[in-house]
Structure 1
Amino acid sequence: MLTDIIIHDLDVIFCGINPGLKSADDGHHFSGRSNRFWRVLHQSGFTPYEIEAVNDTSILDFGYGLTTAVARATSRVDELSKEEFDDSLEVFKAKITEFQPKYVAFLGKAAYKAFSKKKEIVWGQQSEVFCGAKAWVLPNTSGLNRGFSLDDLVTSYREFHLAIQK
């Protein structure tokens, strides 16, 4: 089981699609060897050093939190059903409403597409707010996401980091 790392009034809650098997097993977000989240977060300017997954709760020190759209762990996102996203929506909305982050950053298009019911999703800031938070869609840092190199990911995340500094 993977526990949310959230407190009230964060700048950003980063929302992964669902936990990977290793993360769920060891209880730390983005702990899979091939996941690039912590490296990308650091290289794009969110953190002054690369946080190790075992220290994932330290992300709160920088004004950021972590959650997932769907709680069930899988090895691949395509193992999740449309119904699992539908069943998770109300819990997720309640969480965002309660904790009131300035931004929700969806890591990958899958969760935002399922939650917004939109057919087409663009990368970056979304035109509508999500439960009072500005929504942003970033590429997923999973090692299975071969469509984005490390440099591509860092560029996308840096753009987001710069935007929220304004």
Structure 2
Amino acid sequence: MLTDIIANNLSILFCGINPGLKSALDEHHFSGKSNRFWKVLHLAGFTPYQIEAINDTDILIFGYGLTTAVERPTVRADELSKEEFELSFEIFQEKIAHYNPRYIAFLGKPAYAVFSGKKNITWGKQSEKIQNATVWILPNPSGLNQGFNIENLTSYYTELYNEINKV
């Protein structure tokens, strides 16, 4: 099981779709060799150094946290059913209400699509909020997501960084 890395009043709560099997086994977020989250987070300016997955709790130092939309680990996110997302939404909303992050950054569109009921979702800032948190959609950094190279990912993540820092 992969536990949340979370605290009250974070700037951003990054929300993965669900844990990968390696991350669940390692008990560290984004620990798969092909996952680009930690590298992109650093390249986009969120952290002054690249956090290693084994030190994933360091993300709290910078005012950010990590959670997943669905707790069940899988090899691929497309192994999850719509029902699993729907059942997770109430728990997710309670978590957001309790911890009160300024932003929720969904890593990929699938969870937000089910949570919001929207079919056409664009990257970036969304018009709806979850509880009081502004919602932002970022491309999934998984190595399985071949539609985005490191430069594309960094560009999208930098937009969020600039938004929260009003650059």
Where on the TM-score scale, by shorter chain, does this alignment land: which range?
Answer: over 0.9
- Tell me the residue number matched to 1:16: 16
What does 1:38-53 align with in structure 2 at a 5 Å threshold?
A: 38-53=38-53
Query: How much has 1:119 moved relative to structure 2?
Result: 1.1
Query: How much has 1:24 moved relative to structure 2?
Result: 0.3
Query: Does 2:9 correspond to 1:2?
Result: no
CA offsets, 1:71-93, max 9 Å, x none?
Answer: 00000011000000011000000
* Structure 1 CA distance for aligned equivalents of residues 134 and 19 of structure 2: 23
Query: Does 2:78 correspond to 1:78?
Result: yes
Query: How much has 1:65 moved relative to structure 2?
Result: 0.1
CA offsets, 1:116-154, max 9 Å, x none?
Answer: 011110100001111110000000000000000000000
- Tell me the residue number matched to 1:106: 106
* Structure 2 CA distance for aligned equivalents of residues 83 and 104 of structure 1: 22
Query: Does 2:126 correspond to 1:122?
Result: no
Unaligned runs of 5+ in 1: none
- Tell me the residue number matched to 1:58: 58
Q: Secondary structure at the match of 1:143?
A: coil
Normalised TM-score (structure 2): 0.99
Query: How much has 1:17 moved relative to structure 2?
Result: 0.2
- Tell me the residue number matched to 1:154: 154
CA offsets, 1:35-76, max 9 Å, x none?
Answer: 000000000000000000000001000000000000000000
Give the aligned residue type for 2:165. Answer: Q
Query: Does 2:130 correspond to 1:135?
Result: no
* Structure 1 CA distance for aligned equivalents of residues 128 and 3 of structure 2: 28
Give the aligned residue type for 1:157. Answer: Y
Q: Secondary structure at the match of 2:47?
A: coil
Give the aligned residue type for 2:17. Answer: I
Q: Secondary structure at the match of 2:31?
A: coil
- Tell me the residue number matched to 2:87: 87
* Structure 2 CA distance for aligned equivalents of residues 91 and 8 of structure 1: 16
* Structure 2 CA distance for aligned equivalents of residues 164 and 122 of structure 1: 19
Unaligned runs of 5+ in 2: none
Q: RMSD of the alignment, in Å?
A: 0.4
* Structure 1 CA distance for aligned equivalents of residues 99 and 148 of structure 2: 31
Q: How many residues align?
A: 166
Identity %: 63
* Structure 2 CA distance for aligned equivalents of residues 129 and 79 of structure 1: 27
